[in-house]
């Protein structure tokens, strides 16, 4: 599965331009306090993992769905076993 992280775009579409703004929304709308470094990393890098509770808080703060923050694309399979070519 290929995952494209689109949090920066989702935030920009809601006129949230800085990590400070997103941290404020997370605190006010979702009741979650993340460090400035954590929010900056979420906005600028593709995370290797995200807690479901963090994803839920981001979606609450930005009033969006997980599909707004990411795009999931299946990798092509090599046949009936579902394993992809290596």
Q: What is the pLDDT of residue 81?
A: 60
Q: What is the pTM of this model?
A: 0.81
- Residues 83/77, Cβ–Cβ less than 8 Å: yes
Separation CA 5–CA 3 (nearest Å): 6
Q: Which residue has the higher pLDDT, 83 or 20?
A: 20
Cβ neighbours around 61 below 10 Å, total: 23
Segment 32-59, tens digit of pLDDT = 999 999 999 999 999 999 999 999 999 9
């Amino acid at each position: 599965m290929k995952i494209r992280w689109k949090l920066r775009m989702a935030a920009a579409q809601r006129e949230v331009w800085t990590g400070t703004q997103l941290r404020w929304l997370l605190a006010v709308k979702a009741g979650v306090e993340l460090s400035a470094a954590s929010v900056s990393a979420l906005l600028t890098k593709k995370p290797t993992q995200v807690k479901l509770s963090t994803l839920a808080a981001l979606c609450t703060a930005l009033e969006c769905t997980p599909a707004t923050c990411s795009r999931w694309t299946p990798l092509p399979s090599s046949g009936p076993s579902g394993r992809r070519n290596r």
